[in-house]
Amino acid sequence: MRVTRLLGLLAVGGLAYVGIAWWTWRTEMETGYSAPQPAIPQSAQGFSDKANRIRSLHEKKRPNQPGDWLDRFPEGGQTFAQYIQSRHEEPLRDSYSSIDIQPLGEFDETQLQIVKKTQEFMECFFGVPVRLLQSRALGEIPSHACRTRNEVEQVLTTWILDDILKPDRSEDAMAVIGLVTCDLWPGDLNWVFGSASLHERVGVWSLHRNGDPRASDEAFRLCLRRTLKTAVHETGHMLGIPHCAAYECCMNGSRSREECDRQPLEFCPECQPKIWWSCRADPVKRCQQLLDFAEREGLKPEADFWRRELKILSNGIVSRK
Ligand SMILES: [Zn+2]
Ligand SMILES: [Zn+2]
């Protein structure tokens, strides 16, 4: 009798072990993360299921090349479940109603077109109204906030974030993004494409290193694609999303123009549901709008990708507007 009960207990224990091992293996296979994951709340389960369906379309993070961001700054990344936990299960869209873009300083006609298209794209990407604020001059820059490096004028990002954007930040803005054409440096690195504060809802990025959009149609598209990448990357930080380490993803850190150009414009299956959930964006509508934008602007690889993603997200039923 006692032996039977012992065997029974061993069998139950064994089954439980197999169950846990299978769950851990499955989580690792699906997310690339081995740490125990917080449970996904019931309200976000639908997003988690949709994210699992698009997983096969996204490429796992390739091995680092010497000098890449993760080679220099090893970061662990963050799963969708960890993000929800970090936001105390409160989507940002419930507290804020828009994302604001604040052009700062001089822009020529072509650069203004890039700004306008960036606004349009961000509205599709985050599913939140994006307000383009009246341009502002940078005014008198204090001596500690400007410098010349390799004969290029640079402005200090922390000065723009703390002294220009924060004082005028609107209460209902999920994020305020300063847009400049001058080069930027953050104090501890030589230069940056952009910089954002995860907690203060302010960020700034520059068109300076994105190429000359006036040179040709191809150069315009390249400058647009680069600007869009920085825009959604920095705004992602402002939504509390850290760098991604699991997939080839627009939330990957980058240390060079070349590393940034290698990364896709879209977020991966761990980062994309963070937007769906936090901005209360409809995944199918979002994907359809991104596809329309990419087709309109001649962003061919992106259009091809979103066409495939849309097919999966909408269960093969693709409705054209
Ligand atoms: Zn970043
Ligand atoms: Zn990602």
Q: What is the CATH number of the domain that holds 120?
A: 3.40.390.10
What are the pLDDT digits (tens) for 284-308? 999 999 999 999 999 999 999 999 9
- pLDDT given for residue 223 in this prediction: 95
Domain-located, residue 291: no
In the chain, the percentage of residues whose pLDDT exceeds 70 is 87
The ligand minimizing its distance to the Cα of 60 is: 2
Q: Which ligand is nearest to the CA of 242?
A: 1
- Summarised one tens digit per residue, pLDDT across range 151-178 is 899 999 999 999 999 999 999 999 999 9
pLDDT tens sequence across 102-138: 999 999 999 999 999 999 999 999 999 999 999 999 8
- Written as six digits, the tokens of 115 are 């700004």
- What is the mean pLDDT of the segment spanning 44-48? 93
Q: Is residue 278 part of a domain?
A: no
pLDDT of residue 11: 53
Nearest ligand, CA 70 = 1
Q: How confident is the model at residue 89 (pLDDT cuts 50, 70, 90)?
A: confident
Q: Cα of 233 to ligand 1 centre, how many Å? A: 6
Q: 273 C-alpha vs ligand 2 centroid, how far in Å?
A: 10
The Å distance, Cα 149 to ligand 2 centre, comes to 33
Domain assignment present for residue 152? The answer is: yes
Between the alpha carbon of residue 43 and those of residues 40, 84, 125, 206, the distances in Å are: 8, 11, 21, 37
Is residue 111 in some structural domain?
yes
Q: Specify the number of domains making up the chain.
A: 1
The answer as to whether 169 is a domain residue is yes
| 234 has catalytic annotation | yes
| 108 CA → ligand 1 middle, Å | 27
- Residue 296 in domain: no
Between 184-193, 205-214, 265-274, the lowest mean confidence (pLDDT) is in 184-193
Task: Give distance in angstroms: CA of 27 to centre of ligand 2.
Answer: 16
- Nearest bound ligand to the CA of residue 192: 1
Of 146 and 19, the structure prediction assigns the larger pLDDT to 146
Looking at the chain, the whole-number percentage of residues with pLDDT higher than 90 is 65
- Of these ranges, 29-33, 76-80, 182-186, the one predicted with the greatest mean pLDDT is 182-186
> Which of the four pLDDT bands, split at 50, 70 and 90, describes residue 318?
low
Residue 199, pLDDT above cutoff 70: yes
58: in domain? no
Q: Identify the domain containing residue 198 by its residue range.
A: 94-215
Q: What count of other Cβ atoms lies within 10 Å of the Cβ of residue 58?
A: 22
In the structure, ligand 2 is a single-atom ion and the residues with CB under 5 Å from it are 244, 247, 249, 251, 268, 270-271
* Catalytically annotated residue among 234, 270, 297, 302: 234
Q: Is residue 131 part of a domain?
A: yes
What is the rounded (10 degree) CA torsion for 234, 240, 242, 248?
A: -70
Ligand 2 centre to CA of 205 (Å) is 20
pLDDT attached to residue 73: 76
